[in-house]
Structure 1
Amino acid sequence: MMEGNSTAGSFTPSQQFSIADLVVVVVYFSLNVAVGIWSSCRVNRNTVSGYFLAGRDMAWWPVSRDLRPSCDTLGSRDIPPNSLFCAPAFSTACPHFPPPCIPPSARIRIVTMPEYLQRRFGGERIRMYLSSLSLLLSIFTKISTDLYSGALFVQVCLGWDLYLSTVLMLAPDAVHRSRAGGLAAVIYTDALQTLIMVLGAIVLAVKAFNEIGGYPNLEEAYLKAVPSKIVPNTTCHLPRADAMHLFRDPVSGDLPWTGMTFGLSIMATWYWCTDQVIVQRSLSAKSLSHAKAGSILASYLKMLPLFVIIMPGMISRVLYPDTVACVDPEECTRVCGAAVGCSNIAYPKLVVELMPSGLRGLMIAVMMAALMSSLTSVFNSSSTLFTMDIWRKLRPAAGERELLLVGKVVTVVLVALSVVWIPILQSSSGGQLYVYIQAVTSYLAPPVTAVFVLAVFWPRANEQGAFWGLMAGLVLGLARMGLELAYPVPRCGVPDLRPWLLADIHYLHFAVLLCAVTGAVTVGGSLLTPPLPSAWVSRAPGTPRPGPHGCVHPPDLLGRRRRCHPGPSKAKGPPAVALKDATEPPFWARVCGINAVVLMCVNIFCYAYFA
């Protein structure tokens, strides 16, 4: 257990750092910085392509690391600390049931996903809206959650104040490494962290299972993990009876199977196919084969969290129920500084208590570096969105030096806004970081999924329908989000008096409804307005339209361009940018296809086994 002091939320860890731990931390961070400097020297980071897309020359193995942020030991998008003692839901560990898709934009010379939709529909307002929405999501669900989860980890390990730990997460070294090296430095250092982190997580998982006598004893021990101090006349201190099952009641379940099957699939499509953090990594690959192979390796790695993160997190509750499973507000405030619960510290508590000297320091260093690297990934992607989709629209004549400077300045603004948001995040969704992230995502992301799917698979969809579909989805999503902030989840023992829209409609079910409404408005609006011209022109910003004898049709479902034979044109201006050859070697195309089938089979087996 951890001993409290006079400052709420500050405590002294029961395991102190040894000299070996400190040496390992210093050596690891030195190696990390060296890899970042080396990788940043491999590309010309003084150009937009070099800084934002790593020169479009990334091989499949480093790309795969940044396609799987949820496999970070403390990554908060898919597997945050609080979900670590929840049920071993495979869809929670891998909410994208198929492997991450390869966006059509991987075959088009673009930098952001909003740019792809602009070329698909024409106009500017959809691109501007999606870029602004992505920046908001970065603040609400990425930067603030990474800062908070990382600060919690530092707090557990060192006993520091939460906000002092937050400052440590913004160490100048990490920010400088990202800003100096751009995407290349982020990707290569992440690859190093993944290797060490996976090995360390496996060692910790083995030690955790040994502590409780192996996997056969997990379910029995978990159902008995009850804190000593409870709230009288309540059952919130008891573990859920369905904790070892994936399919839970669609009405009373905390993660209803209907919501996980359909709602999480909608949000996973948004994240893996349209989110800038993911798309930017695919666009940095040197070829389509490397982009596919990176996604497949990422999918293989995403099978690990179930066994090396979620189940060890459940064991953490078994071993330390008074800390991890506290329900009394005063006790929780003493333990972790959050009256609503301390489940977020499950995994770092396990690391501090079970890892031997030296390995403890290595795991702490890797996890802190991974969180900071996750932050720098979001910084890079967010600055790309603002710079390329918003600032360049406001200042079309901006040069590369100005664009790079703006990209760096916007990072500082995002950090400031995210730090201000942390207190709200800390008290939202009953203190469960995973629930908060998925809830906010379910209010804002489903409209983007609906429009993206229609844009790819329904040629009749036009700009008017897509825009008003997005606006309708935004209004409904913000209404639900506002109610969520106004009526937070009641604490243990307090009656639930929230409006029926919150109390009776799960946020995952709301995501399905929101996606359906957006799709219906988009289809209706498209059918009621004129279709796109058959010879709709797609062009880079600033490039003149072809003359009447030459045209460029929109991309087909695979992103290929169909060009008619241009005749003489008197249009002046720079020539259109040549597209990169998207052909694949037949052998590697077959290898990727076979592995994709194997992955699907394994996913289906795991889904059925834990149902």
Structure 2
Amino acid sequence: MKPLDTLDWISISLYFLVLAGIAVWVIRKKEDNTEDYFLAGRNIGWFVVGASIFASNIGSEHVVGLAGTGASNKLPLLIYEIQAWVVLILGWVFLPFYARSGVFTMPEFLEKRFDARSRWLLSIFSIVAYVLTKISVTIYAGGVVVSALLGIDFWTGAIATVILTGIYTILGGMRAVVYTETLQAVLLILGAAILTYIGLDRVGGWSSMQETLGPEYFNMWRPATDPDFPWPSLLITSTIVGIWYWCTDQYIVQRALTARNIKEGRRGTIFGALLKLLPVFLFLIPGVIALTLKMRGELQWDNPDEAFPVLMSNLLPSGLRGLVAAGLLAALMSSLASVFNSCSTLFTVDIYKKLRPNAPEKKLVRTGQIATVFVVIVGIIWIPIMANISGVLYEYLQSVQSYIAPPITAVFILGIFYKRINATGAISTLVMGIVVAVLRIVLELVKDNLDPDGFLFKIGDMNFLSFGAWFFLFCLLFLTVVSLLTKAPDKEKIINLTFGTITEEEKQNNKNSYNWLDIAISILIIIIVAGVMVFFNGS
């Protein structure tokens, strides 16, 4: 690793000055009410919504982890990054239901569709899941990046970034988060694009890279018998996780809910989907470039997760290196800020407000700020435990999400598409799903101590993608059977909240919220996704 020089530090300082300027401007403009603090006053345009969706998603765990995936022969995990078409499902299918219901949070939507039990359970479960899959992973990746870039130890880097991000998130709320994320998205795309271009030039182009690594390295489709990435399970489970993450998760959906109307919200998701096509080229390819240079003896790193920062520090000229370093810090800070704000929204709106329905608006905002601090502390405590579950960071993230996503995805999909699904079915599926997910994580951690011929060992040792696919099927069946065996839902629980019960007026409002251009861009995105899937087939 080359140390940063004066020009690099000037670039990083300029970035932080602009960021501070935006944060101060937003903090001065904000009002002390919950709609402004948690949903930016529901008055955001499509460009900021889309950039915020992208920046929330692309955290340092993607930059570090996706490059690590490219550098460690785990290319099938690329499928999680070309799920841009699932972002379209949020805008075209789910968002109209969420917007019509006027909710702040996803658990609040479950209460409107089912009952308060589902809301309580999903709120608490989501906060725990954020600590497991988002906060700790982001802090860990941020520590790797910051310590590699600035030459300081891991914990100092991780904690300094958390505190800095926490300050503007706590003070500025959602409005500070979405505006700073727009700047961070632009900077990250620019920096990573420059690195990819210079890197490809350094290795002698794509064909030269294929010669060094062999064409089979570029195949994301492994046989169905592959022990790590069987393609049918990969395709099914990545879609289940994609729908959970993009269409039902507070972390992402909250960005679409800040839009001033359904039209802006949907366009924001289409723009977000368009941006989501970029990570393959901006982060995965640099990892492959880093591996190529390592195999040629031109670059040295020990852990695949170091591939991106090492490549950046060795290939980029002075000044530009600082800009890309700032982009990496931006990625880390944007995803941390998003999850901090989502956690405080869930805790304040779904838990605290339920217990204290008459609490004044200022008190609710203050509670959200305190909740953020607690979540940060728990996330830091979880990092050492997280390091034991899976080798490469990105794979850890996907494996845990494969256990969490199936029950929640099943409840949301069937809840919207099948009006016979009731509250008893929903709460039973969520409880069963949480128990199974926890059991699987525990068994995965202790499987070496179990009888290799026993049932528990087989559950703990089963491929995480295959487990996710079968678990989702079981959740769908379980939810349907329990709902059919119990009382049908009341009429007010399904009107305008499920397909087949939407009023003619609402149908017309929905039709007026898009035009031919929205449809054309959406189709183009699906064609590009299919093209990427065909391109990475090893031929």
- TM-score, normalised relative to structure 2: 0.91
**Where do 1:253-402 residues align within 5 Å?**
253-320=227-294, 342-402=303-363
1:190-229 Cα shifts (integer Å, max 9, x gaps):
1111112111111110111111100111122235xxxxxx
Equivalent residues of 1:383, 1:411 under 8 A apart? yes
Cα 1:146–1:520 shift into 2, 3 Å:
same
1:528-573 Cα shifts (integer Å, max 9, x gaps):
1110123x268xxxxxxxxxxxxxx45243995689xxxxxxxxxx
Task: Give the corresponding residue for 2:509.
Answer: 583
1:486 aligns with 2:446: yes
Task: Give the corresponding residue for 1:30.
Answer: 17
| Secondary structure, counterpart of 1:429 in structure 2 | coil
| Aligned pair partner of 1:91 in 79, 87, 104 | 79
Paired residue type of 2:69: S
Structure whose residues are more often helix by fraction: 2
Instruction: State the 1:70 CA deviation.
Output: 7.2
| Aligned pair partner of 2:524 in 574, 581, 598 | 598
Equivalent residues of 1:429, 1:488 under 8 A apart? no
Cα 1:589–1:78 shift into 2, 3 Å:
farther
Task: Give the corresponding residue for 1:203.
Answer: 194
Cα 1:153–1:559 shift into 2, 3 Å:
farther
1:220 aligns with 2:211: yes
- List runs of 5+ in structure 1 lacking aligned partners: 1-12, 224-240, 327-334, 337-341, 490-494, 539-552, 564-578
1:473-529 Cα shifts (integer Å, max 9, x gaps):
22222111111222479xxxxx999923233x2111111111111111111111111
Instruction: State the 1:142 CA deviation.
Output: 0.5
| Secondary structure, counterpart of 1:247 in structure 2 | coil
Equivalent residues of 2:55, 2:331 under 8 A apart? no
Task: Give the corresponding residue for 1:137.
Answer: 129
1:455 aligns with 2:443: no
1:16 aligns with 2:7: no
Instruction: State the 1:73 CA deviation.
Output: 6.5
Equivalent residues of 2:55, 2:182 under 8 A apart? no
Query: How many residues in Structure 1 have an aligned counterpart in Structure 2?
Result: 527
- The answer to which structure, 1 or 2, has the higher relative contact order (CA under 8 A, 6+ apart) is 2
1:524 aligns with 2:515: no
Equivalent residues of 2:59, 2:334 under 8 A apart? no
Equivalent residues of 2:56, 2:181 under 8 A apart? no
- Compare 514-523 and 91-100 and name the one that shifted more: 91-100
Instruction: State the 1:348 CA deviation.
Output: 1.2
Task: Give the corresponding residue for 2:430.
Answer: 470
Equivalent residues of 2:59, 2:333 under 8 A apart? no
**Where do 1:158-197 residues align within 5 Å?**
158-172=150-164, 174-197=165-188
Paired residue type of 1:28: Y
Cα 1:99–1:276 shift into 2, 3 Å:
closer
Q: Aligned partners of 1:509, 1:390: CA distance in 2, in Å? A: 35
- Compare 26-35 and 93-102 and name the one that shifted more: 93-102
- Compare 102-111 and 54-63 and name the one that shifted more: 102-111
**Where do 1:51-70 residues align within 5 Å?**
51-69=37-55
Q: Aligned partners of 2:63, 2:501: CA distance in 1, in Å? A: 28
1:321-355 Cα shifts (integer Å, max 9, x gaps):
599999xxxxxxxx77xxxxx11111111111111
Task: Give the corresponding residue for 1:7.
Answer: none
1:608 aligns with 2:538: no
Equivalent residues of 2:84, 2:525 under 8 A apart? no
Q: Aligned partners of 2:508, 2:446: CA distance in 1, in Å? A: 49
Instruction: State the 1:595 CA deviation.
Output: 1.1
- TM-score, normalised relative to structure 1: 0.81
Task: Give the corresponding residue for 2:144.
Answer: 152
Paired residue type of 2:472: C
Task: Give the corresponding residue for 1:9.
Answer: none
| Aligned pair partner of 1:502 in 451, 460, 464 | 460
Cα 1:441–1:405 shift into 2, 3 Å:
same
Q: Aligned partners of 1:252, 1:261: CA distance in 2, in Å? A: 14
Q: Aligned partners of 1:286, 1:213: CA distance in 2, in Å? A: 47
Instruction: State the 1:428 CA deviation.
Output: 2.1
Task: Give the corresponding residue for 1:234.
Answer: none
| Aligned pair partner of 1:515 in 464, 472, 491 | 472
- Compare 414-423 and 68-77 and name the one that shifted more: 68-77
Instruction: State the 1:81 CA deviation.
Output: 4.5
Instruction: State the 1:76 CA deviation.
Output: 3.7
Q: Aligned partners of 1:482, 1:587: CA distance in 2, in Å? A: 46
Equivalent residues of 1:73, 1:309 under 8 A apart? no
Equivalent residues of 1:94, 1:303 under 8 A apart? yes
| Aligned pair partner of 2:401 in 438, 441, 453 | 441
| Secondary structure, counterpart of 1:243 in structure 2 | helix
Instruction: State the 1:373 CA deviation.
Output: 2.0
Cα 1:185–1:322 shift into 2, 3 Å:
farther
Q: Aligned partners of 2:297, 2:444: CA distance in 1, in Å? A: 27
1:250 aligns with 2:224: yes
Paired residue type of 1:445: A
Paired residue type of 2:80: T
| Secondary structure, counterpart of 1:171 in structure 2 | helix
| Secondary structure, counterpart of 1:68 in structure 2 | helix
Percentage of pairs with the same residue: 31
Q: Aligned partners of 2:178, 2:500: CA distance in 1, in Å? A: 26
Instruction: State the 1:357 CA deviation.
Output: 0.5
Equivalent residues of 2:46, 2:259 under 8 A apart? yes
Instruction: State the 1:587 CA deviation.
Output: 8.4
Q: Aligned partners of 1:129, 1:325: CA distance in 2, in Å? A: 49
Q: Which has the larger radius of gyration?
A: 1
| Aligned pair partner of 1:411 in 372, 386, 391 | 372
1:263-297 Cα shifts (integer Å, max 9, x gaps):
01001000011110111001000111111111111
Q: Aligned partners of 1:438, 1:184: CA distance in 2, in Å? A: 29
